[in-house]
Structure formats: C-alpha cells, structure tokens
Structure 1
C-alpha cells in the first residue's frame, strides 16, 4: 500500500511518543534553539528559515484517485534533537535534526478529499539532493487528553479527516534531516504529477563534500581485460543539460518514462596510467536530484532499424566512442542519460571508480550547477 512508504512513528513502528505525563513533562531544562523546557506548557520556538512560498498547481493521489490541489510551504523551522528527547527513535533517525514544515493546500477539484495527507509527499533536501525523512508521531496512550510531545508548530498533530471541494487546510510535517548541513530545497512529489521545488534561503545550502562544477579530480578504473587491475584516471564533469523526450524517439520507453525529461551528463576521462582502458567508465556515473531522487544512467535498447531522425539528440550526447581502448595519456568524453520527473533537476553528479578486483573507491561528488 502506497502510504506505508511514509515514515511512521508510533507503537514501535519508528518512534513512540511517551504520554504517561502531562504535556511538557520530563524536560531536562531549557535548551537553545528548540525543545520543551522543564515544566513548560508550550514548546520553545524553533529557528525560522526563509523559504519560498509561491503557490503552485499539484496533484495528490489517495485511495479514491488523483486529485487537483494548489499547494505551497508557509513556514519552515529548524529545531534541535532536544525537541524529541522523549521520543524513542530508530537508530537511523538518531542524531538527525527535526525540521518543521508547515504547508497549506486547497482542494481545487470537484470532489472532497478523504483522509488527505499531501504533507507526507513533502521533503526537505540538502544541496547534494540528500532527502530528509518525513515521519509522523502517533500518540501511544489512547487515554491521554493532550499530546505528550508538544512539538513546535503543532507538528505532532494530525491533519484534517476530510477537505471539501474548494476547502483549504494548513498542516505541519516533521522531516528529519542529517545533522551538520543546511537545507537547500523543499520538494513535493506525487506519483500522479510532476515534482515541485521551493528554495530554502538562496537555494544553495552548504557544499559539504561537493566539488565545484567542472573540477577535475583523481580516481581509478578497472580494466576487465587486464585481470582486474586498476588504472589511474582523471575525471572532469563537462556539462549537465536538459534534453527533449523527442531525442529518445528511436527507443522504447515505459508509460512512466514517457512523462519524464532526459538530462545529459557529459564527463571527460583522462587515462593517466600505463595500461589501456575499456571505455565503460560511464557505468560509475550517478545523479541525485533536487527533489531527493537517486537516478542511475538509463539503459536503452534501440528497436529502430531505420533512423527517424528524432533520436539525433542522444547521438550528440554520446559522441564518438573508441572501438578498442582508451590509450594512456588520452582523453575521452562519455555522456549518460538520466530521466527525471518534470520540474525536478540534477543537484549532484557522482562518479564511483574501482580500486581493482571489483573493489570500489570513494565516490567523487560535484554540484550539478
């Protein structure tokens, strides 16, 4: 069931709210930047961040089908780990930072929405496209009259049970984001429509381990014809650009792929070793999108025996590939194709080489632009 892919916290699924005491119970004293202080009835204010709030057309897919919405973030605030000190988190969530994302949506369709949760389709992404984890906190004590977590912005409260045609709702989504990084993007994605992006601050976030676009870096590649020995190479991203679906006119695509946009990533490789290389380095290229998607290169099977001319764009992307080997001290530019939903874009380009005998080396990662 689709909704089970959403992070759920409660009853031991991901986290449970301790509600044996009244709201604000068990605090360990005030903290800076978030959390509930000892004896406090209200949560401490989280740090408000500047976020783009343009209202956009969207879709939300529920059990009754796909519905039309207008939607936008209203507020984004960053808390601290102390906000969740009374929440039992799974190990993979511990150490992450809570972000409180308040969104407002309007049902622009002709029918009402039953148990809507479009907020669960939002995430907060870093500059390299790493997505946050949207989770919900369930009250584990059915006799409690108030939430024991008392999170900022009401992020421990459920959204409305229904929204009539023309009606609106404002709801907060809790998103856990890796510690030590600045958010770059708020993203909304639903399987019935495109990806929507809003900038956080200037939209750049922080560099982290990202190399600037076009920076040359050292790696190595394994040549399968020389008993798995690694050959040193230098890797330089040359371009990241959007193409047209018509470029893939000679290839068979699924119904979902036919609604997407091809992005072409061109990388130059220089053989700095003493052995020839089989030119298959593009197998190690990856893309992470601003919407938080990991996208591997597209494998295409040409089913056309006579070219229609519509696929010429992809030929320009691929360029000339040698029939034999990449010679020492020679260069070769290879292009990979990555399909993204409309509205999304590459945020990070990566290359993972080999150290020989099938072993991997630390991936190189660049900002896409």
Structure 2
C-alpha cells in the first residue's frame, strides 16, 4: 500500500506485535537481528548544517522557522526489505536525513511536518523521493521497523513558540549516485539549500559548463535529414523580477527570480535553419525542479534587428535564418523560487538517434 503524502510517498511498515522488535531484522547497529538483514550501519556523509530562516506552510497557516540538516546517512536497500514500496522506488537507496528546527513564530505549530519539505538532489538536480513510513501495527511496543534515526516515527504533535524539534526524513535516491545538495522548499518562503560534501556530487555524464558539444536540429524548413549543429552554453546568470515589470506575471511568479540562460548555436551543415533551437533547452534546479522557459509575448519587433525577449535576455530575430557556417546566440528566461539556483542545463536535439546533452550550470 502506498499513496501520496504531501510531496512524498506513504509506505507501509510490516511489524511484529508487542515484542519490542521488528520483522525488518534490526536497527542498523546489528542488535536484535537474527537473520542478518539490515545489520549494516548507515554511512554518514558530510553535510552543511548552517541554520537558516524559512517558513513552513501547514494546512491552515504559515509559520516562521529556523531550520537546518543535522545528519545525512546512506543506508542500503536491505534496510527496507519489510517495507511495502512503490515499484518505482525499488532499487533506490535510502538516505536518512535528520533535521532540527525552531518555531520562531508567535503561535504554536500544531501537527508540524517541515521534514516532508526536504529532499536530497543529485548534481544534475534529480531529486530524491521523500517517504513517510506508516506502522501497520499501532500496538507494537518497539520501533515500527528498526530503521535508524527514528525514520519510522512521527514528529511532535505541537511545537510552542521558541520550541525546538529534531525529526528524520527518509529520502529514496537513485542508486549509484552521490548526492550534491540537501534542499528545503516551502511555497511561501522559497528554497533553502545546503551542500553535501563539496556540493558537486558525481559527474554522471555531465559536461563542464561552457563545453561545446555536437548535436543536430530539424525544423519545418529543412528538406533532408537533421542538420548538424554545435551547441555551447555561454552563461547562466540571475536577473531581477523588475526586469519583467512590463509583463503581467501570475501571482505565483512574484516570489521568484529570473535566470537567463544564453546558448550559442553554430550551423555545421549545409541548410539554413529557423532560429528556434531554444525549444530544445531545459533547466533543472538544485532544489529538484524541472523548469521550462518563460513564454513572453514581445511586441517590440522593429527594424533594429533586436531579438525577441527583454534587453537582459534577447532571443531570435524575426524573419531570419541561421546560415551554414554561422553562429547565433539565443537566451531563455527561467523562473526559480527565491533561494534556488540552476544545477543543470540540457539540450534535446532533433533527428534520428540524437541524444540529449547535459551541462553543469556553473
């Protein structure tokens, strides 16, 4: 049995009844394990622990909190042998994220759950999946599953003003990768980020920022197959929301920061191309978000030759083509919540068998 619990997943724990032990075979320290399952201690990773100010939005109110990771440890799949997980989580690696927070508001926080807003992300921004465990046997006297760091237990029912709590969040991360970031997101207070180790994670095929790579492109004007092109990310830079003051943004966009991604495209083929290669560009953030470019209706077409967009980020020039042997620069605008930042820039070319390109954002 599994379901959606906030941004994460709810999973069922199979427990013994009233024995003070769990069918999962131990708590990670080897005590009480008679089958050899789950006896390995989780491996602690270096994680930044700077306390930061943020918010947590519950069902009825938004509360101010100070919050930070305290410990991050990598477990093994054997830890969850007696947990009913969704199929898409099987084969992933459990990470135990212990966090502490203080209620800095003037009211008590009831049924708090800020740990559910945490995740662990990879170098390319791929987020782990937070999982909340549900003990199917409320009469069991011992730990629900024997998982380390009390990750099978809920947090306090209430935290008074000035009160503190320490809780644990279980996050499932794709196997074979080292996490780069611990991320906390709240719809009101934006995103908070902490480095895991040096904050770089593993490469996983990511190209260094600014590396030129081969791809191809095909549009409605090409007569044959896809045209070979060379793609080079030039810059990823933050702007200001005031840059977009002439546009009517949605309310959800008004607590964001625009990021400008500029990419050079060189036509290495023999046919002209429409300057719309930015349709293949994507961005993923350190907070685990996949972001598409902001569509802007530009009414400033003129004989000046300026491209679509805003002064800080110009795109294609209307009624032009990218000639063979020529290069053009296109710029896209991506909105991210305050505190978040780009992690990976991607480009999906056109043509048979063309593979996506992925670069570190910086």
Name the TM-score, length of structure 1 as normaliser.
0.89
Shift in CA distance, 323/4, structure 1 to aligned 2, threshold 3 Å: same
Q: Give distance in 2, aligned partners of 1:139 and 1:226.
A: 59
The answer to whether the aligner puts 1:324 opposite 2:328 as a matched pair is no
The partner residue of 1:256 within 232, 252, 257 is: 252
Pick aligned residue for 1:363 from 343, 356, 359: 356
Aligned equivalent of 2:186, options 168, 190, 209: 190
Are 2:99 and 1:103 equivalent residues in the alignment?
A: yes
Q: How does 1:113-192 map to 2 (within 5 A)?
A: 113-192=109-188
Distance, in Å, in 2 between the alignment partners of 1:245 and 1:90 is: 40
1: distance between equivalents of 2:214 and 2:132?
43
In structure 2, distance between residues paired with 1:36 and 1:321: 69
Offset at residue 303 of structure 1 (A) = 7.1
CA distance in 2, matches of 1:331, 1:35: 65
Shift of 1:4: 3.9
Partner of 2:305: none
What pairs with 1:1-369 in structure 2 (closer than 5 Å)?
Answer: 4-9=5-10, 15-20=11-16, 22=19, 23-25=21-23, 27=25, 37-38=33-34, 44-226=40-222, 229-302=225-298, 314-318=310-314, 321=317, 323-355=319-351, 361-369=354-362
Superposed displacement of residue 8, structure 1: 3.1
Q: Higher mean Cα deviation, 82-91 or 184-193?
A: 82-91
Q: 1-side partners of 2:197 and 2:22: how far apart?
A: 32
Q: Matches of 2:132 and 2:154 in 1, distance apart?
A: 8
CA distance in 1 between counterparts of 2:329 and 2:300 reads 25
Deviation, structure 1 residue 267: 0.5
Deviation at residue 5 of structure 1 after TM alignment? 3.3
Worse-matched range after superposition: 155-164 or 321-330: 321-330
2:180 counterpart SS class: strand
Query: Structure 2: any 5+ residue segments left out of the alignment?
Result: 302-307
Q: Secondary structure of the residue that 1:153 maps to in structure 2?
A: helix
Give structure 1 stretches of 5+ with no counterpart: 10-14, 306-311
1:21-80 CA distance string (max 9 Å, x none): 6424364x999x999843689964211111111111110001221110011111111111
Local SS of the residue matching 1:83: helix
TM-score, normalising length: structure 2:
0.90
Alignment check: 8 A CA contact 1:43 1:151 kept = no
Q: CA RMSD in A?
A: 2.7
* Alpha-carbon separation, structure 2, partners of 1:304 and 1:72: 46
Residue deviations 1:289-319 (CA, integer Å, cap 9, x gap) = 00101111110124799xxxxxx99324216
Contact map agreement 2:97 2:168 (CA 8 A) in 1: yes
CA distance in 1 between partners of 2:117 and 2:30 (Å): 25
Query: In 1, Cα distance between the equivalents of 2:359 and 2:5?
Result: 33
Q: Tell me if structure 1 keeps the 8 A contact 2:27–2:148.
A: no
